[in-house]
Amino acid sequence: MGSVMLGYVTDFFTYETTKSVVVKSWSVGIINRLVQLLIIIYFVGWVFIHEKAYQVTDTGIESSVMTKVKGFGYHNDRVMDVADYVYPPQGADIFCIMTKLIVTENQFQGKCAEFGERFSCTTDKDCHKHFGSVLTNADTPPLFLSYKPGVITGVCIQTSNDTLNGRCEIEGWCPAENDQVEIQPMLDVNNFTIFIKNSIRFPLFNVTRGNFPTTMTATEIKRCTYHPEKHPFCPIFRVGDVLNYTGQSVDTLASQGGEIGINIEWKCNLDLNIDYCVPKYSFTRLDAPFAKNAISKGYNFRSFAKYFKTENGTDFRTLHKAFAIRFDVMVTGNAGKFNTIPTLINLVAAFTSVGLGTVLCDIILLNFLKGAAQYKAKKFEEVSEAQIEASIAQSPGSQLSLKPCIKSSYDSGA
């Protein structure tokens, strides 16, 4: 029994290696090495050096953005400061600089004439077509984006200075807004500055970075302005510059409003010194995909009101239709660091790929080379069922000088 056990152990600790045919042929040899060289160059150059396939990447970035706008502008003969034109005020990643305000003062709840040619009428009947919600399927459905300041009552009011045409009556905040007025936008926005403080963290590697170097002193920061080449890490951005980088004119944007994206991109190779992990800024006009649609050009929001009370307690409000430049500070990024798993998987892929070079060489060797048949005969050793049966019919095992080896068949594939 012991010797049988020993036999199994002996069989287990054997080493199995493929039997190879070495072809001493210049032509195939050179092709073989060339193909291997190309594959190695591809893997080393592209996969490992360029695409950094030996790294694991963290794309789930944690980011916090703090913004602060500075500057003064004149609008409607008033000096506007940050508290007047920035909304929301707390310095979030999305903020609006209001550049044009259509102000409707002293609105009280009540009934009054609607504003605009579209709501002209001579009899009450003319106003009935304006009934209902935006979803009514009337002949001339009310358009979604045309603002109505209140609920149509169905009455036509004759306004004193316009005897022929009346206006439909509405119920709501009165007087109705007139947004057809021509107002000069606050072009001073050009000289406003935006200070952006962005701190990020790559949770996978527990690396924290800020968007300006710790070596920058307060004075340096206060005096600089961002410039792609000269001051790429200065966190202070002139609005005029930003609009310029996106190729937009301040005049159009200030009067119609618009959405500007300030993208902060972090691409960090944490195998290098952490000081190379720096932000890269880029600027885009976010509503660009909608440029071809006539709808919703620019950016404005009417839903901005200040509420007051009269002495006797009645509420009234000042409605602002604000045309604003909205800035979205968007932070994207990823960090890569050496990790054994992708390295190993790619190395194995590389090694196996080098082996795939033999496929090409075998095709050449066994088909196109002089003496292909001879090479084939050398490479392939044929066993047919007939032969095997014949050898079994004789004394099994006698024909073959080698003792049939007992092996776990799993090994043969490993």
Q: Which residues are annotated as a binding site for ATP?
A: 68-70, 193, 300-302, 321
Smallest separation (angstroms) from a second copy to the CB of 162: 24
Which of 178, 176, 177 lies closest to 153, judged by CA?
A: 176
Measured distance CA(339)–CA(341) in Å, rounded:
6
Q: Is 3 in the site for a second copy (CB under 8 A)?
A: no
**DSSP E strands, 175-257:** 193-202, 207-210, 236-238
Q: Is 394 in the site for a second copy (CB under 8 A)?
A: no
Q: Which stretch binds a second copy (CB under 8 A): 79-87, 122-130, 178-186, 244-252?
A: 79-87
Which of 12, 184 has the CB closer to a second copy? Answer: 12
Using the rule CB under 8 A, which residue among 106, 122, 184, 314 binds a second copy? 106
Which of 9, 164 has the CB closer to a second copy? Answer: 9
Q: Is 309 in the site for a second copy (CB under 8 A)?
A: yes
Contact 384, 54 (CB under 8 A): no
Q: Is 412 in the site for a second copy (CB under 8 A)?
A: yes
**Range 186-245, binding a second copy (CB under 8 A):** 191, 193, 195, 197, 199, 201, 203, 208-210, 212, 214-219, 221-223, 225, 236, 238
Q: Is 5 in the site for a second copy (CB under 8 A)?
A: no
Q: Is 21 in the site for a second copy (CB under 8 A)?
A: yes
Which of 10, 184 has the CB closer to a second copy? Answer: 10
The torsion defined by the Cα of 73, 232, 96 and 82, in degrees rounded to 10, comes to -40
Which of 178, 332 has the CB closer to a second copy? Answer: 332
Q: Which stretch binds a second copy (CB under 8 A): 120-128, 157-165, 178-186, 371-379?
A: 371-379
Using the rule CB under 8 A, which residue among 118, 129, 231, 378 binds a second copy? 378
Contact 100, 255 (CB under 8 A): yes
- φ/ψ of 54, rounded to 5, equals -90, 0
Ordered DSSP codes for 49-117: IIS-TTEEEE---EEEEEEEEE--EEETTEEE-HHHHEESTT--SEEEEEEEEEEEEEEEEEEEEPPSG
Structure tokens at 405: 């080896």
Per-residue binding letters, 347-366, with a second copy (x by CB under 8 A) = -xx-xxxxxx-xxxxxx-xx
Which of 165, 199 has the CB closer to a second copy? Answer: 199
Residues facing residue 339 across a β-bridge: none
Smallest separation (angstroms) from a second copy to the CB of 256: 14
Contact 26, 157 (CB under 8 A): no
Q: Is 128 in the site for a second copy (CB under 8 A)?
A: no
Binding-site residue ranges: 68-70, 193, 300-302, 321
Measured distance CA(357)–CA(31) in Å, rounded:
9
Smallest separation (angstroms) from a second copy to the CB of 187: 13
109: Cβ contacts below 8 Å, ≥ 6 apart: 172, 173, 174, 315
3-state secondary structure labels for all residues of 302-343 = EEEEEEEECCCCCEEEEEEEEEEEEEEEEEEEEEEEECHHHH
Which is it for strands 78-80 and 279-285: parallel, antiparallel or unpaired?
unpaired
Smallest separation (angstroms) from a second copy to the CB of 117: 18
**Range 47-76, binding a second copy (CB under 8 A):** 47, 51, 53, 59-60, 62-64, 66, 68-72
Contact 237, 262 (CB under 8 A): yes
Contact 194, 226 (CB under 8 A): no
Which of 252, 391 has the CB closer to a second copy? Answer: 391
Residues in contact with a second copy, counted by CB under 8 A, come to a total of 187
**Range 285-304, binding a second copy (CB under 8 A):** 286-290, 292-296, 299, 301-304
Ordered DSSP codes for 187-201: GGGGG-EEEEEEEEE
Residues facing residue 174 across a β-bridge: 108
Which of 180, 215 has the CB closer to a second copy? Answer: 215
Using the rule CB under 8 A, which residue among 3, 4, 5, 17 binds a second copy? 17
Which residue's entry shows tokens 């500070």?
A: 329
Which of 277, 267, 281, 283 lies closest to 213, judged by CA?
A: 277
Smallest separation (angstroms) from a second copy to the CB of 251: 18
Q: Which stretch binds a second copy (CB under 8 A): 118-126, 154-162, 178-186, 325-333?
A: 325-333
